[in-house]
C-alpha cells in the first residue's frame, strides 16, 4: 500500500517487489531471525543498483568501506553481477510496525544515493582516489 | 528550543531509562568507555517537511588493532551483506584498523519501544556479527 503511492507499476517478486528496472531497485521483506519480544521479526529493505560491472579489487573494497563510514543510514555493498560485481545501496529497517513516513524516508535516502553516487563511484574507481 | 535540543532531550531521557549511567559529553551519549559503546545524533541533511532531520546512531567497538589488510575489507564487505540495518565500519589507525558496529535510525520522533528495539537489536547483532568476523580472520576464509 505504502509503495503503491510512489510506484504504481511495481512488480511483485517472490519476497518483495521490483520498483524500477532502470535503475534496478527492489524492496524485500525478510525474517530477522530474532526471537525476543523486544526484537523485530521482519526487516524491510530497499536495494538499488548504483554501478554495474565493477572489478573486485582491494581498492574497491577499501573505498566502499570508507563510504560506509560516511553514509549512516544506508549501506553500500557489492553483489555479484555476471563475472564482475555491482555496487548497491541498501537501506534496511525493522518492518513489524512500519509507518508510511519511514517508507518514504527510506525511498528518499535511496533516491539521493542513486542521484549522487554512481558518477562519484565511477570516478573513484577510474582515478583510484579515496577523496 | 531548537529541534536538535528537543530531540536531544528526548533521546537523553530514553537512553537514561535503559542505561542509567550514561554520560553526555560533546554530543555523545557515552554508555561505556571500555569497550567503547555510545550513541550520537547526526543531521540527515533532509530539508523536506515530514522527513527526519536527525539520525540516532548507536556505535560499539568490535575490535581494535586488527592488521589493516585487503582481506579485512573483503570480510567486512561480505558481512555487511548479512547484517540487516547494522553496519560494520572500519577506521584505519596507522598500520592497523579499528572495527565498530553501528545501527542508525531516523530520530525525530522515536517512540520508547523503538529505543528498546534499537538497543536490543544492536546488542543481539553485537554478539553474532563479531563472532563471524573473528572466525573469518582466524581461518582466513570469507564468511559463507
A46: left (phi over 0), alpha (psi -120 to 50) or beta: beta
Partners of residue B104 in chain A, C-beta under 8 Å = 72-73
Partners of residue A68 in chain B, C-beta under 8 Å = 80, 87-89
pLDDT tens digits for range A18-61: 999 989 999 999 998 888 777 889 999 999 999 999 998 889 98
Q: How far, CA to CA in Å, does B51 sit from each of A74, A100, B97?
A: 16, 11, 35
User: Taking CB atoms and an 8 Å limit, are A68 and B80 in contact across chains?
Assistant: yes
User: Taking CB atoms and an 8 Å limit, are A65 and B57 in contact across chains?
Assistant: no
pLDDT tens digits for range A61-116: 889 988 898 888 899 998 877 788 999 999 999 888 888 888 999 999 999 999 99
User: Taking CB atoms and an 8 Å limit, are B44 and A73 in contact across chains?
Assistant: yes
CA distance B72 to B55: 28
CA distance B8 to A93: 22
Partners of residue A36 in chain B, C-beta under 8 Å = 120, 124
Cα A54 versus chain centre, distance: 17
Is the ipTM reported for this complex over the cut 0.85? Answer: no
**Across residues A3-15, what is the average pLDDT?**
82
Amino acid at each position: 500500500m505504502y509503495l503503491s503511492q510512489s510506484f504504481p507499476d511495481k512488480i511483485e517478486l517472490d519476497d518483495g517487489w521490483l520498483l524500477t528496472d532502470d535503475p534496478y531497485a527492489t524492496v524485500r521483506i525478510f525474517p530477522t531471525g530474532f526471537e525476543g519480544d523486544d526484537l523485530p521479526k521482519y526487516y524491510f529493505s530497499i536495494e538499488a543498483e548504483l554501478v554495474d560491472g565493477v572489478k573486485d579489487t582491494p581498492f574497491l573494497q577499501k573505498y566502499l568501506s570508507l563510504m560506509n563510514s560516511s553514509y549512516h543510514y544506508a549501506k553500500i555493498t557489492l553483489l555479484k553481477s555476471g563475472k564482475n560485481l555491482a555496487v548497491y545501496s541498501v537501506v534496511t529497517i525493522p518492518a513489524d510496525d512500519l509507518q508510511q513516513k519511514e517508507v518514504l524516508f527510506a525511498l528518499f535516502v535511496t533516491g539521493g544515493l542513486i542521484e549522487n553516487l554512481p558518477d562519484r563511484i565511477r570516478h573513484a574507481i577510474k582515478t583510484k582516489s579515496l577523496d | 528550543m531548537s529541534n536538535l535540543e528537543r530531540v536531544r532531550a528526548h533521546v537523553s531521557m530514553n537512553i537514561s531509562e535503559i542505561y542509567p549511567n550514561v554520560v553526555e559529553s560533546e554530543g555523545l551519549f557515552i554508555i561505556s568507555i571500555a569497550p567503547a559503546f555510545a550513541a550520537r545524533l547526526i543531521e540527515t541533511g533532509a530539508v523536506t517537511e515530514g522527513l527526519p532531520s536527525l539520525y540516532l546512531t548507536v556505535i560499539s567497538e568490535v575490535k581494535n588493532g586488527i592488521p589493516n589488510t585487503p582481506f579485512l575489507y573483503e570480510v567486512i564487505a561480505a558481512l555487511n551483506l548479512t547484517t540487516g540495518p547494522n553496519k560494520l565500519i572500519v577506521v584505519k589507525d596507522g598500520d592497523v584498523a579499528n572495527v565498530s558496529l553501528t545501527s542508525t535510525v531516523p530520530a525525530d520522533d522515536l517512540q520508547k519501544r523503538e529505543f528498546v528495539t534499537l538497543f536490543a537489536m544492536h546488542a543481539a547483532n553485537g554478539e553474532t556479527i563479531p563472532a563471524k568476523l573473528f572466525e573469518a580472520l582466524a581461518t582466513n576464509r570469507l564468511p559463507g
